[in-house]
Every structure is written in C-alpha cells, then in structure tokens.
Structure 1
Amino acid sequence: MELSNLTIISGETFDESVLGVVTLRQQGNIPFQSALLHEYDRLVLMLHNELEKERIIRHSIDGDLRTQTLHVDIQALERAVSAGDNNELVTSLLGGEIIWDPQGILENLRQTILQFDQPLKERVLFMEISRFLHMYVKSKRYIAAGCIMDAYNCVLIALYHWARIEVSEGGRFPEPAVWDQLKSQNTSVYKLYEELTISTETLEQRVELVLLACEFAIMSKMADCCTMLLTILGSRNEPWSVEELLIQPGLSHLEAELPIILRKLVSRSLIREITSWADANAGDGHTVRYVM
C-alpha cells in the first residue's frame, strides 16, 4: 500500500520514518479480540524507532467509524513479545493486517512469534518462571499472615504464569487467552485451576493444595526455565552482582523477581554465591555476587 493511503486509514498524517503499520478491526463473533478494540471499530498500530514516549494514543471518528491509533516504540513492541508484559500489543500484531512494512520488521516479528524458536522461547520461559515464583512466594507469605483472600489472588496469578510455562514448553507462544490454549493439552495445571476456583473445600484448603503443587513445579522446572539467566551467569569468569544483572537485556524489568529467583537457584545449588568485603560507600558487611 502506498504511504499516501495510510493517512486516510489512520485519520492523521505521518512520514516515511514510520517503520510499520498494523490495522485491526472488529470481526463479529471471533472468540478473543484485543481489548484495545473495546468501543472502537478499528485499531491502528504504528511502529516507530526511538519514539519520545513509549506510547502515544490518539482517537478519531469518521462518520460512525471510531478509530484508536497507537504510536508505539519498536522496543516496547519487542519487549511485549519477549516479556509478555503487554499482551494487547501482541494480540494486535498477530491478529491484525500489516499494511505498511517496507523493511519487513513486523512480518519478521510475527514469524518469530509463530515459529517460537530459541532464543524467544528461553526468554519467555525465564520471564514466566520468575513471575511464577514471585507470586508463589507472595501467596505463601499472605497465607502465613492469615490473609486468605490475598493469598488466593496471588496463587491464581501464579497459576496463570504456570499455564504460560506449560504452553511454552509445548512449543507454542503463550497467547492472552492462555487457559483456552492450555485446555487442549489436558495438563495438571488446568485441573489445579478448576480445583482452586470451583472446589467445595474451604478457600484456605484450596490455596494450600495449589501452593504445594506450585512448590513441586518450581523445583522441577527451575533448571530448564532459567537457561537464559544461567547462560548470562556463565558468560564470564567473574561473578555478577544483582545490579550488573539488572542492566542486561531481558532482565531490566525484573527488579522484584530477580532477587527471589537468584536465591532459589542458590538453594538448589544451580548457582553459587560469592561474597567479598563491601565497597566503602556500600556500608558494612559483605557484597554478594553470583556465578555458575
């Protein structure tokens, strides 16, 4: 499609610095569509390089046709794919029509998702095990404090991340409607989800049952799901500090999860802690670093 035609579709003008454009329309009774289409007839996703803001949103109307336009930085879209922190962008990319892609960026990214080979699979597995462990730990702490509803909420989210792990291990990119994806695999995770949500046992009993299953799953999946982190740790002879790890590509948005997963890997003897005297400006005690 010629660039001049794109101004008609989006309701605004732009130049050839736009890397790509995807459009998504309401499509009748299709089971799952992006929530970005809610109350809109059309979504236009415009991909930019080095956008000033990570996302710019504009709304327009042409007669009865309402359009929501998202201007998104390419790094935000790539992060949504690898980290799963913005499923709506991924849904739009997979389900929309690519109408402008002169460098093939959008088509290549779409094919990367559909093929789901390494290293994307390793990145997704590590993101999900990190979040799975984090929510499991939060649920354990809530139930110990007697906050049963909060424990329930956290273990439900933990199950969601476990479901995404199961789908990924099966060779498919985990989509937003992950429970529908997982249902066909007939795994124990889906049965645990039903046990947690519809069982006749007390809420506390249900949470404790699922937490036991989560603990076993974490122990059995840690090594395989942490390949990405283990590769980084083994990429040099010197041990890594948490600060150094958090500036590595793919780890920078795991501030809450990374310390927990490092401790779990140490306790499983999959990595080692190395201690040294703290720097002068770091206070008393020892600095802890990690190595394979």
Structure 2
Amino acid sequence: MKQSVFSIPDRETGNHQVIGAVGYRQQGSSFNGPLLHDFELIVLVICDRMDPYSVQIEHCISGSIRYQIKYIAQQDLLQWSISGESRELIRYFLHGEIFWEEHGKVTELRSRMIALEADMWDHRKLKEFSGFLRTYVQAKQYAQEHDYMDAYYNMLQSLKHYARIELISRGIIPENSIWEQIRELNTEVYKLFDELTDSKESLEQRIELVLIACDFFVTSRMKECCQALLHIIGSRKEPWRIQELTEHPELKYIREDIPLLIRKLVYRSFVRQTSARAEERLGEGREIRYWL
C-alpha cells in the first residue's frame, strides 16, 4: 500500500522530529498480540526526538482499512534491543515495510539493531539477574519478618527471573509462557518452582528451602550474570561514582537496582572500592568509588 493512502505524519508533524515510518500488516485473521488489536495495520513513526506532550498514538481509518499509528523514539528502540523489552514492537519494526524514510535513516537504524542483537545476551542476562536479586532479597526480608505470603509472592517472581536467565544462557529468547519453556529443559529452576508451588511441606519450609538454593545461585552465577556491568566498570581506569553508573545510558534499564548490585559485587570481591575526597556538602565524609 502506498504511503499516500494513509495519514502518515511527515517530518514536520507536531513537535516530533520524524525520520521515517514502518508499517506491519496483520496476516489474515491470525492474532498478533495486544498492540494490533483488531487493526489490519500498525504504523510505527520513528522519531529522532519526541516531545512528551505531543501525540503518541492515533487510531485512523482509510476506506475500509483501520490502522494504528504509534510514535517511537529511535533511542527507545535501541534501548529495548538491549533490555529485551517491547519485543512485539521490535518485531514489527524489523519485519515491517518501510513506507518512507529520510536519507536512509530507518534502514541504518535497522542495521544497527540487527548488529546489536548478537551482543545483547549479556545485557538481557544482567537485566534478569537484577530483577532476580531484588525480589530474592525482598523475599528473604519478608521471611525473616515471618510474612510468608509476601515472601512467597516475591520468591515466585525471583524464580521467573532465574528461569529467564537459564533460557538466555542457552541462547533461547524467553516467552510469556516461561514455565512451559523451562519444563522441557528439566533444569534446577523448574524443580525449585515445583518445590515452592506443589510440595507437601509447610509454606515456611518451602520458602526456606528455595531461599537456600537461591543463595547458592547468587554465589555461583553472579559474576557470569553481571558481565555487562563489569565490562562498563572496567572500561576506564578511574573509579566510578555510584551516580555515574546509575546515569550510564547502557544501564538505564537497571538504574534502580545498580546500588544493590554494586554492593553485592563488592561483597563477593568482584568489584573493588576506594574512597576519594568528598564534595564539601558531605562534610568530613569521603565518597566511595568503584573499580575492577
């Protein structure tokens, strides 16, 4: 279908700096996920910069064709490639038809994302380990407070992250039906899931047993799962301030968990710490910085 059929915004539309548009058509009557709904087509309008107060999404019709327009910043597409998020949108962008582009910028962006794909496994593993560690620590705290229902919920979330790590380690992209995927591999994490959800032990005993296994997972797999973070820390000679790491563009997707990850890495001696003269606002204190 030609671009002129649709009300696809050009580069002057609104306050967005548009570099092109990609259309993905629904195949027949097959279901293509929640983003397409019952539309025949989704049009991704790729922007170099987006104004958060301008239109982000539109529902349109041309003749008998219903379609959805979604505005996306190219930086978000690159970030999702790193983190493994928004996989539907990534698929639509990579496999859709380029309706138009400015100076080949959409084609260039596609090439960059395909090239990045081979190097993204470490980042995806780091993202899942970050989620695993956060929910595991929370489950441990709830268990110590004898709040076993909240501990159970967090333990389930922790095991889902653990399961995704196992799949990623095998070069398998995790799907929504994570336990169906992992059951076929007969891994330790599925046995832990079964132990937590279907054991005859008391809830307290089940949580304690799974926590012990997760303790071992943290000890044995932390360095492997944190390679993307360790690579960034080792990329320069000067020690890093914690604020620098939380603001690093390649670590945006785990920003809130970086302090916890760093302290665990220091405790396991994978990261070293040093102190430096602090700014005056910290009084007599010295600022801790991190290096390999």
Q: TM-score, normalised by structure 1?
A: 0.82
Q: 5+ unaligned residues in a row in structure 1: which ranges?
A: none
| Paired residues of 1:34 and 1:92 also in contact (CA < 8 A) | no
Structure 1 residue 205: Cα displacement: 3.0
Q: Secondary structure at the match of 2:251?
A: coil
| Paired residues of 2:22 and 2:93 also in contact (CA < 8 A) | no
Corresponding position of 1:14: 9
CA offsets 1:205-224 (integer angstroms, 9 cap, x no match): 33333222222112111111
Corresponding position of 2:33: 34
Greater shift after overlay, 197-206 or 251-260? 197-206
- For residues 251 and 172 of structure 2, what CA distance do their matches in structure 1 show? 22
- Cα 1:208–1:22 change in 2 (3 A) is farther
Q: 1:45-56 maps to which residues of 2 (within 5 A)?
A: 45-53=44-52, 56=56
- For residues 111 and 99 of structure 1, what CA distance do their matches in structure 2 show? 16
CA offsets 1:96-153 (integer angstroms, 9 cap, x no match): 533447442464366447xx422x1222122221221111111111222233222222
In the alignment, residue 74 of structure 2 is paired with which amino acid?
I
CA offsets 1:220-269 (integer angstroms, 9 cap, x no match): 11111212221222222221110111222211342321111111111111
| Paired residues of 1:26 and 1:42 also in contact (CA < 8 A) | no
Q: Secondary structure at the match of 1:19?
A: strand
- For residues 87 and 6 of structure 1, what CA distance do their matches in structure 2 show? 25
Structure 1 residue 201: Cα displacement: 3.5
Please say if 1:174 is aligned against 2:171.
Answer: no
- Cα 1:45–1:188 change in 2 (3 A) is farther
Q: Secondary structure at the match of 2:256?
A: coil
How many pairs were matched up? 281
- Cα 1:277–1:93 change in 2 (3 A) is same
- For residues 75 and 250 of structure 2, what CA distance do their matches in structure 1 show? 11
Corresponding position of 1:159: 159
- For residues 68 and 133 of structure 1, what CA distance do their matches in structure 2 show? 38
Q: Secondary structure at the match of 1:238?
A: coil
- For residues 127 and 86 of structure 1, what CA distance do their matches in structure 2 show? 14
| Paired residues of 2:40 and 2:66 also in contact (CA < 8 A) | yes
In the alignment, residue 228 of structure 1 is paired with which amino acid?
A
CA offsets 1:45-76 (integer angstroms, 9 cap, x no match): 22221122398111234577543321111111
| Paired residues of 1:19 and 1:105 also in contact (CA < 8 A) | no
Q: Secondary structure at the match of 2:240?
A: coil
- For residues 158 and 25 of structure 2, what CA distance do their matches in structure 1 show? 31
Greater shift after overlay, 274-283 or 84-93? 84-93
- For residues 179 and 173 of structure 1, what CA distance do their matches in structure 2 show? 13
Q: 5+ unaligned residues in a row in structure 2: which ranges?
A: 12-17
- For residues 92 and 228 of structure 2, what CA distance do their matches in structure 1 show? 27
- For residues 117 and 35 of structure 1, what CA distance do their matches in structure 2 show? 27
- Cα 1:239–1:175 change in 2 (3 A) is same
Q: 1:251-270 maps to which residues of 2 (within 5 A)?
A: 251-270=251-270
Corresponding position of 1:276: 276
Q: TM-score, normalised by structure 2?
A: 0.82
Structure 1 residue 35: Cα displacement: 2.4
Superposition CA RMSD, Å? 2.9
Structure 1 residue 160: Cα displacement: 1.9
Q: Secondary structure at the match of 2:149?
A: helix
CA offsets 1:179-225 (integer angstroms, 9 cap, x no match): 44434333222332333334343333333332222221121111112
Q: 1:200-219 maps to which residues of 2 (within 5 A)?
A: 200-219=200-219
In the alignment, residue 82 of structure 2 is paired with which amino acid?
S
Q: Secondary structure at the match of 2:19?
A: coil
Please say if 1:187 is aligned against 2:184.
Answer: no
Q: Percent identity?
A: 35
Corresponding position of 2:199: 199
Q: Secondary structure at the match of 2:248?
A: coil
Larger radius of gyration: 2
CA offsets 1:164-190 (integer angstroms, 9 cap, x no match): 211211123434444444343332223
Please say if 1:239 is aligned against 2:236.
Answer: no
| Paired residues of 2:23 and 2:41 also in contact (CA < 8 A) | no
| Paired residues of 2:81 and 2:113 also in contact (CA < 8 A) | no
